[in-house]
Amino acid sequence: MPNAYISGTGFYVPPRVVTNQMLADDYGIDTTHEWIVQRTGIEERRFSDPGVATSDLAAEASEAALEAAGLTKEDVDLIILATLSPDCHFPGTGVYLQRRLGMTEGKDAKFVPALDIRNQCSGFVYGLSVAASMVQAGNLKHILLVGAETHSHAMDMTTRGRNVCSLFGDGAGAVIVSATEEDRGIRGWNLGADSRFADALCQKIWTIADETCFPLDEQGRGIVEPELMWAHMNGKVVFKHAVQRMIESLMQVCMKLDAKRDDIDLFFFHQANLRINEYIAKMLGIPSEKLPHNIERFGNTTAGTIPIMLAEAERNGTLQRGMKIAMVAFGSGFTWGAAIVDW
C-alpha cells in the first residue's frame, strides 16, 4: 500500500486589501478596528474584484501547487475542491476549476473526475482524508486538492451583517496529494459532525423543501428575504463548540497515532478567530512559536485557511521536510476534523 504525501503546495489571495477601517469608512458598517482586532485578531482581509469566481482563485493556487510539486496538469488524476462559496448552485466548482486549468484541451486530455466537498471550514481536512484514502488504496497517483472561497460577493456588507462580514475573506490554497513508497505522509485523521447545530451557522438562500424554493413575483423572479439571503451565525455558540471539538479532535487523532504533543513541530489551526486558537493552545500547552497564523492578514478564508498556511509556511521556510505537523479545523455543520502528517 503506497503512502500519501503532500508533494506540493500553493496559494493565491486577490490583491485588493480591505482593512477593518475600510469596513467602517467605505461600506458604512458600524464597527471599529479595535472591536474586530480585540475579539478576532483580524486586521485586514482580501476581497475579489467583480467577475472573479472561486474557481479563478482555485486555479491560481492549483498552478502554484503543481509547479511546486514539479508536475503539470496532465499528471493530475482527480480534482477535489472544497468550498462553501461555489461559482453557482450547480454544477460543482470542481468542474469549473478543471475547465479553468485547461484540463479538457488537447488530444491527451484525460477528463479526470472532479469532486466537490461541502464541509465549510472543515472542508480541507475532510478533503485530505478522501484524497489520502484514494492514493493509499493504490488507485491514483496525484490528486489536486483545493480549498477556495469568494466570500466577499455573498456577504451582507451592512451593519446588520457585521458579525459575519467582518470575519471572512477571499483566498485559495491547494496541495497535491501524491503516492510514495517512502515512509512519510498523511498518517491519519479524525472527523466529526454534530447536526444539532446545523442552523447555528448557515446561509439558506433557498429551501428546497418549499415549493417553489423561494417565493416568486409576477414575472417569475425569485424573492429572497434577508433572513434567507445572508449567512447567520450564533457567534457565542460557534466559539464554545469550536474550542471543545478542536481539542477533542486533535487529542483523538494523537491518541490513535500515538503522537505526543511535543512530537508535533507545527500546529495548523483553522483561522476563524485568533482568540479561539490562543485559548486552545493555552489549554493544551502548545507554545506560540508552533502555531502559525495569518488571520490578521486574510481573515477567515474557510476551506482555504489551512492550505494557504501550509503554502506560506513552506515558502518562508517554517515548514520543512521531516517535520511532524497537525491540522485542526471546525466549522458550519457543525463539522470538524484533525489530521497528522509527516512532511
Ligand X SMILES: CC(C)(COP(=O)(O)OP(=O)(O)OC[C@H]1O[C@@H](n2cnc3c(N)ncnc32)[C@H](O)[C@@H]1OP(=O)(O)O)[C@@H](O)C(=O)NCCC(=O)NCCS
| Residues at the contact surface with ligand X, assessed by CB under 6 A | 31, 35-36, 39-40, 121, 162-163, 166-167, 233, 235-236, 238-239, 242, 272-273, 276, 300, 331
Q: Which is nearer to ligand X, 36 or 145 (CB)?
A: 36
The number of helices, as runs of H, and strands, as runs of E, in the chain is 11, 13
Number of Cβ within 10 Å of residue 169's Cβ equals: 28
Q: Which is nearer to ligand X, 5 or 330 (CB)?
A: 330
Catalytic-labelled residue, pool 121, 165, 254, 273: 121
Residue 232 annotated among the catalytic residues of the structure: no
Which set of grid coordinates corresponds to residue 231? Answer: 449567512
Residue 300 annotated among the catalytic residues of the structure: yes
Contact 143, 176 (CB under 8 A): yes
Q: Which is nearer to ligand X, 94 or 123 (CB)?
A: 123
Per DSSP bridges, beta strands 114-117 and 44-46 are unpaired
Catalytic-labelled residue, pool 190, 270, 273, 277: 270
Q: Nearest distance from residue 191's CB to ligand X, in Å?
A: 15
Q: Nearest distance from residue 40's CB to ligand X, in Å?
A: 5
Q: Nearest distance from residue 280's CB to ligand X, in Å?
A: 12
Distances from the Cα of 132 to the Cαs of 27, 40, 94, 108, in angstroms? 42, 32, 18, 26
In angstroms, the first-to-last Cα distance of the chain is 18
Q: Which is nearer to ligand X, 78 or 84 (CB)?
A: 84
Q: Nearest distance from residue 43's CB to ligand X, in Å?
A: 13
Q: Nearest distance from residue 57's CB to ligand X, in Å?
A: 19
Name the residue with cell 477601517: 21
- DSSP helix/strand/coil, 11: strand
Q: Which residue is nearest to ligand X (CB)?
A: 235
- DSSP helix/strand/coil, 325: strand
Residue 198 is classified by DSSP as T
Q: Nearest distance from residue 107's CB to ligand X, in Å?
A: 44
CB neighbour class for 283 (10 Å; exposed up to 12, middle 13-18, buried from 19):
exposed
Among 180, 183, 175, 338, smallest CA distance to 264 is for 338
Q: Which is nearer to ligand X, 189 or 336 (CB)?
A: 336
Catalytic-labelled residue, pool 3, 119, 277, 300: 300
Q: CA triplet 179, 182, 185: central angle to 5 degrees?
A: 65
Residue 254 annotated among the catalytic residues of the structure: no
The crossing angle, in degrees rounded to 10, of helices 33-40 and 274-284 is 30
Q: Which is nearer to ligand X, 89 or 236 (CB)?
A: 236
Query: Alpha-carbon distance 124 to 119, whole Å?
Result: 8
Per DSSP bridges, beta strands 114-117 and 78-82 are parallel
Residues labelled catalytic: 121, 270, 300
